[in-house]
């Protein structure tokens, strides 16, 4: 009966099979015009309005991201980093940008050792690398934008000054992580000394001021103007090493996406310093098994995906760093032959708790995600983060936003590829995804730190192996493994008890979570069918968000 439940929910784009007897909680949004999917409806609506005014998919993404900086402040903002993939419907070209920032020139392992530090605490100024987000916004707009730059920030400035009601899941994170906020941040985010409650109207005029400066002066306001001056003043107050040169000389980077074939789909990610290569390696390992022969909620399917995750994650942690300083073995990690070697170590009947990194040869063959598709079929897959919930907890004086703590991802082992170094970018967990097959082109992403690569691989398998539509693929019960070693595993309660018992018999140590656990990461997805010119949008119930279509011009 359990297998039948999922079979009835199968959808082959664009037709629906037995929709009245489905297992998914929400329908896809289906429209001829654009769709914006984000973690908060006001942000989705702002992006949809930008599309309706003639904006591009990138214009809508910037506007939505700016609103998310206000309404979901513990996850993202101008003080963080950005990665994006942009698919051009006319040319079929996929473009990537890496807008992750570097460590200050004066920060090194030796510097920290002299300061008596053997690690970088999440609330330390030394975890603050140069925020790359705003430079990424500007570069993307100059290349792909249609509307005037200043128009993109009007929705966020409006809500910053007039206020917005706080939503449920965002409020939970706001309340539960607020203890790390510094005194300046507490003034901004804890009005009357406490986190706002669900439905409370929250205003942040300081952020409105910062966004107005960005809208008027561009990225120069952030990297050399009044915002930059405030960042340096804040850093100096916390005894940080960041200088005016560190900010002024920073540039985000256009990068060529990397890819693999999974069954008959092509899947794309951005190259290191991000963990997207881990998703691709996990898929390559999974491809050695007939996962499509099993139901999505079977012990066999879960076991193989879990074991593939362990192998890929060990390689991620061992080999990935900033390619400007080290040479991650990208070709080796993406090699089908290497994946076959790794897959051979998987025992279908037993969990391995002591997995080690492999040896790929170089020639071997807390975050917000949003996705946008416009009426012309252009797709944006976009992820932006201040790293941990509330980032470093350090607010920029007078500007109403937090600095991220992405530098905490550096290794302090001097020989490691991800070792801290001046002007070096740390290993990044945030990854946008894109996949295509024939006329179907999907931009997707799922949040929550190291969960992202494994969650994306599960989403892709749901679409490819289990023939789910993008909404069901986001909703379907998932697992996540937060630790690097061992057999501990978090899994959602919707996975049938008999399946969980079988996984336990195979050696997996389960921590059962709620039906739609935020630990599994909320996500968004959009799809463009280039044959029918119809767009599809999906939003995970693990977040407060929604996929909202661009309004049709019925009043014109």
Residues with active-site annotation: 367
> What is the C-alpha to C-alpha distance for residues 485 and 478, in angstroms, rounded to an integer?
19
Interior/surface letters 350-366, b for 16+ CB within 10 angstroms, e for the rest: ebeeebeebebeeebeb
CA-CA-CA-CA torsion for 51, 52, 54, 56, nearest 10 degrees?
A: 10
The two most distant CA atoms of the chain are separated, in Å, by: 67
Termini Cα distance of the chain? 51
Interior/surface letters 110-120, b for 16+ CB within 10 angstroms, e for the rest: eebeeeeeeeb
CB 497, CB 516: distance < 8 Å: no
CB 83, CB 97: distance < 8 Å: yes
Tokens of residue 301, six digits: 């399917």
- H/E segment holding residue 81: strand 81-87
CB 369, CB 76: distance < 8 Å: no
Tell the residue number behind the tokens 């509330």, with chain if given: 390
CB 229, CB 216: distance < 8 Å: no
CB 224, CB 251: distance < 8 Å: no
Closest by alpha carbon to 142, among 56, 75, 20? 56
Closest by alpha carbon to 95, among 68, 53, 56? 56
> What is the C-alpha to C-alpha distance for residues 306 and 75, in angstroms, rounded to an integer?
27
> What is the C-alpha to C-alpha distance for residues 106 and 45, in angstroms, rounded to an integer?
42
All residues at 6 or more sequence positions from 139 whose CB lies less than 8 Å from its CB, including other chains: 97, 99, 252, 254
CB 327, CB 309: distance < 8 Å: no
Query: Rounded to 5 degrees, what are φ and ψ at 201?
Result: -85, 120
CB 283, CB 260: distance < 8 Å: yes
CB 206, CB 398: distance < 8 Å: yes
Q: Mapping DSSP to helix (H, G, I), strand (E, B) and coil, where does residue 255 land?
A: strand
> What is the C-alpha to C-alpha distance for residues 471 and 492, in angstroms, rounded to an integer?
17
Tell the residue number behind the tokens 């330390």, with chain if given: 124
> What is the C-alpha to C-alpha distance for residues 290 and 4, in angstroms, rounded to an integer?
19
CB 367, CB 76: distance < 8 Å: yes
The alpha-carbon radius of gyration of the chain (Å, integer) is 22
CB 374, CB 56: distance < 8 Å: yes
Tokens of residue 519, six digits: 């630990």
């Amino acid at each position: 009966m359990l297998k039948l439940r999922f079979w009835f929910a199968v959808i082959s784009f664009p037709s629906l099979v037995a929709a009245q007897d489905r297992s998914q909680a929400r329908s896809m949004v289906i429209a001829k015009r654009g769709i914006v999917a984000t973690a908060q409806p006001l942000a989705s609506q702002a992006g949809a309005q930008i599309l309706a005014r003639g904006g591009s998919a990138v214009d809508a993404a910037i506007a939505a991201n700016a609103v998310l900086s206000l309404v979901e402040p513990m996850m993202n903002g101008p003080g963080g980093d950005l990665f994006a993939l942009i698919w051009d419907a006319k040319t079929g070209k996929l473009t990537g940008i890496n807008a992750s920032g570097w460590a200050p020139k004066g920060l090194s392992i030796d510097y920290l050792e002299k300061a008596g530090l053997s690690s970088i605490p999440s609330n330390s100024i030394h975890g603050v690398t140069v925020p790359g987000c705003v430079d990424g916004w500007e570069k993307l707009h100059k290349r792909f934008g249609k509307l005037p730059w200043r128009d993109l920030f009007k929705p966020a400035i409006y809500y910053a000054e007039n206020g917005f009601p706080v939503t449920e899941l965002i409020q939970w994170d706001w309340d539960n992580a607020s203890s790390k906020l510094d005194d300046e941040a507490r003034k901004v985010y804890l009005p009357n000394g406490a986190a706002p409650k669900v439905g409370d109207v929250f205003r942040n005029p300081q952020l409105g001021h910062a966004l107005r400066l960005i809208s008027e002066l561009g990225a120069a306001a952030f990297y050399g103007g009044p915002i930059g001056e405030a960042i340096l003043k804040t850093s100096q107050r916390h005894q940080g090493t960041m200088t005016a040169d560190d900010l002024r000389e920073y540039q985000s980077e256009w990068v060529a996406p990397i890819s693999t074939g999974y069954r008959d789909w092509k899947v794309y990610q951005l190259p290191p310093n991000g963990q997207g290569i881990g998703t691709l390696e996990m898929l390559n390992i999974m491809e050695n098994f007939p996962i499509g022969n099993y139901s999505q909620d079977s012990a066999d399917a879960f076991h193989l995906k879990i074991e593939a995750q362990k192998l890929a994650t060990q390689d991620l942690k061992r080999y990935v760093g900033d390619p400007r300083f080290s040479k991650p073995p990208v070709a080796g990690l993406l090699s089908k032959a290497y994946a076959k070697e790794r897959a051979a170590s998987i025992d279908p009947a037993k969990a391995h708790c002591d997995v080690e990194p492999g040896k790929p040869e170089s020639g071997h063959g807390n975050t917000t995600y949003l996705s946008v598709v416009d009426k012309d079929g252009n797709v944006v897959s976009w992820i932006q983060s201040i790293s941990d919930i509330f980032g470093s907890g350090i607010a920029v004086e007078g500007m109403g936003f937090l600095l991220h703590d992405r530098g905490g991802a550096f290794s302090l082992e001097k020989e490691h590829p991800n070792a801290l170094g001046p002007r070096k970018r740390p290993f990044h967990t945030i990854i946008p995804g894109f996949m295509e097959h024939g006329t179907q082109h999907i931009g997707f992403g799922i949040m929550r730190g190291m969960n992202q690569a494994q969650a994306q691989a599960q989403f892709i398998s749901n679409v490819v192996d289990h023939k789910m539509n993008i909404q069901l693929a986001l909703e379907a019960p998932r697992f996540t493994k937060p630790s690097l070693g061992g057999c501990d595993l978090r899994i959602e309660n919707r996975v049938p008890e008999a399946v969980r018992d079988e996984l336990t018999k195979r050696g997996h140590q389960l921590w059962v979570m709620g039906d739609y656990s935020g630990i599994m990461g909320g996500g968004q997805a959009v799809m463009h069918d280039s044959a029918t010119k119809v767009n599809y949008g999906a939003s995970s119930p693990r977040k407060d968000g929604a996929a909202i279509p661009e309004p049709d011009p019925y009043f014109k």
